[in-house]
Chains A and B, each alone.
Chain A
C-alpha cells in the first residue's frame, strides 16, 4: 500500500505541472483545437450532401445521425488519446539529454505519462464534457429521444483509457526512431496519416472491403480509435465488446513490452556509444 502511495507521491508534481501548462497555454490550445475541429465540420457538410444526394436513409449501414456521432466522437477520441511521447523522446535523443534519464530516480516514461495525464484532466473539463454534451444534444434534437446510454458511455471511458495507454507506448516506441532520423517531421506526418487511416478515423472500417476491414480490426490501430467509438455508438454487442477489450489489453501489453525492450537496447547503445 505504502509503495503505491509513494509511487503517486513521486509523480504527482508531474501531473500538476501538466495541468498548469494546459491552463497557461489555454489560448493557444483553444485556437489549435478550433483549427483541428474544422475538418470534422467539413466532413459533416460533406455527409449532409451525400445523404441529400442519396435515395437511401443509410449509407453502408450508417444513418446521418450515426455519421455525426462518428465524426465528432472520433475527433474527441483522437484528441484524448493523442500522445506527445514521440516528440518528447525524439527531442531528448537529438539534444542528447536522454542519457540523463538513466541517472534520475524516477522512470522516464512514467514522469512523462503523468505529465500528460495532467493535461488530460484539464481537457476533460474543457473539451470532453462539452463535446459529449454537444453530440448528445444534437442526437436529441434530431431524433426527439434521449439516445445517451450510460452503459455504453462508461464502457467507452474504459476503452478510451486503454486506447490512450496503447497510443502512449506506441508513440514512445516511435520516438526512438530519432536515433535514425535527424528530423522527425516527415516520418511523423506519415505515421499520423497512416495511423488515422488504419485506426478507422478517416474512413469507418465498415466502409472498407470486408477482408481489409477484418485485418485492420485486429491490428493495434483499430484499438486506438475505431473500437472506443463503436462502443460509444452502441454498435458492438456484448461479446464484441469483451473481445475488443481483450484485444486492447493484448496490444497494450505488446506495446509496453516493446518499449521496455527498445529502452533496454537504447541504454546499451548509450553505454557503448556514449550519448
Chain B
C-alpha cells in the first residue's frame, strides 16, 4: 500500500510535467466542461422561472442534488479517465502488453498512468452549486455529517470507476468496448434529478442495476432531510462495494482471456 501511494505521487508528478506541455489544451477542456454544465443549469433556471417547485423540490434542492452528483463524477473523471482508452484503443492496438510485463497491478497501472484535469471544470461547477444551495437549505448538521459525506464520496466514486472498469474489461474479449462504456456511463445523467421524476422501470434500473442513484440522489436526500440513513448511505456503501467486487472479477477474468494483437 505504501509503495502504491509513493508510486501514485510519482505518476502525478510526471503527469503535471506533461500538463505543462499542453496547458492550453487542458484549460480549454476544463472550460468546455464548465460551460456544458452552465447551460444545463441555465435550463433548470428557466424551468424554475415558470414553476415554484418541481414535484415538491425547490430550486435550491434541485441544485444541491445536481451539484452533489458532480462530486463523484468529477473525481472519477479526474482519476480514472485512462480506463476509456482501454476500451477504445489500448487493447485493440495491443498496447496492453506493456502493462502485463510490469511488476505492479495492471488495473492500478492503467489508472495511475493518466489523470484528466479537465475534470476541474466539473469540480468548479460542483463547488459553485453546493456553496450556493447549502446556505439556502436548512440541512441537519451533526459532528458525523462531514465524515459521512467523505465515506459517501469514496463509495460513490467507486460506483463510477467500477462501471468503467467492468465495461472496459469487456475489450479483453471483444478487442474494443469503449462504446459499451459510453452507453452505460451516459446513464449517470439520470442521477442529476430526484428519482421520483422517473417511472418505476427507470427507478429500478438506476437503483439496483446501474446504481447511479446512489452517487447523488439518495445520499443527497439524506443530507437534506436526515431521513433514511440506512438505505441512503448504507446503500451507497453496499452498491460501491458490490460494483467494485464485480469489476475486479471481470477485470481479472478478462486478463486471462486477453489475446494481445498482431501475430
User: Which residues of A line the B interface, CB within 8 A?
Assistant: 27-29, 31-32, 34-36, 38-39, 41-42, 45-46, 48-50, 52-54, 59-60, 181-183, 185-190, 193-194, 196-197, 202-203, 207-208
* Interface flag for B225 (CB, 8 Å): no
User: Closest residue of chain B to A33, judged by CB?
Assistant: B183
B39 & A31 in contact (Cβ 8 Å cutoff): no
A149 to B51, CA, bound (A): 32
Q: Which one of B8-16, B134-142, B185-193 is at the A interface?
A: B185-193
* Interface flag for B180 (CB, 8 Å): yes
A31 & B197 in contact (Cβ 8 Å cutoff): no
Q: What DSSP secondary structure best describes chain B's contact surface? A: helix
Count how many chain B residues have C-beta atoms less than 8 Å from C-beta atoms of the other chain. 45
Instruction: List B residues 1-60 near A (Cβ within 8 Å).
Output: 22, 24-33, 35-36, 39-40, 42-43, 46-47, 50-56
A32-B179, A53-B54 are contacts. A190–B43 as well, Cβ < 8 Å? no
Chain B residues with CB under 8 A of A36: 186
Q: What DSSP secondary structure best describes chain A's contact surface? A: helix
Within the complex, the shortest CB–CB distance from B172 to chain A, in Å, comes to 17
A45-B197, A59-B50 are contacts. A193–B39 as well, Cβ < 8 Å? yes
Within the complex, the shortest CB–CB distance from A87 to chain B, in Å, comes to 14
Chain B residues with CB under 8 A of A50: 47, 50-51, 54
20 cross-chain CB contacts under 8 A: A35-B179, A35-B184, A38-B186, A39-B189, A42-B189, A45-B202, A46-B197, A49-B54, A53-B52, A59-B50, A181-B24, A182-B22, A183-B25, A186-B26, A186-B30, A186-B32, A189-B33, A190-B32, A193-B36, A202-B39
User: Which residues of B line the A interface, CB within 8 A?
Assistant: 22, 24-33, 35-36, 39-40, 42-43, 46-47, 50-56, 118, 176, 178-180, 182-187, 189-190, 192-193, 197-199, 202
User: Closest residue of chain A to B28, judged by CB?
Assistant: A186
B176 & A185 in contact (Cβ 8 Å cutoff): no
Chain B residues with CB under 8 A of A48: 197
Chain A residues with CB under 8 A of B118: 186
Name, among B182, B197, B199, the residue most crowded by chain A CB atoms within 10 Å (CB to CB): B197
A28 to B174, CA, bound (A): 11
Chain A residues with CB under 8 A of B39: 193, 196-197, 202-203
Chain A residues with CB under 8 A of B180: 31
User: Closest residue of chain A to B185, judged by CB?
Assistant: A35
B32 & A182 in contact (Cβ 8 Å cutoff): no
B29 & A45 in contact (Cβ 8 Å cutoff): no
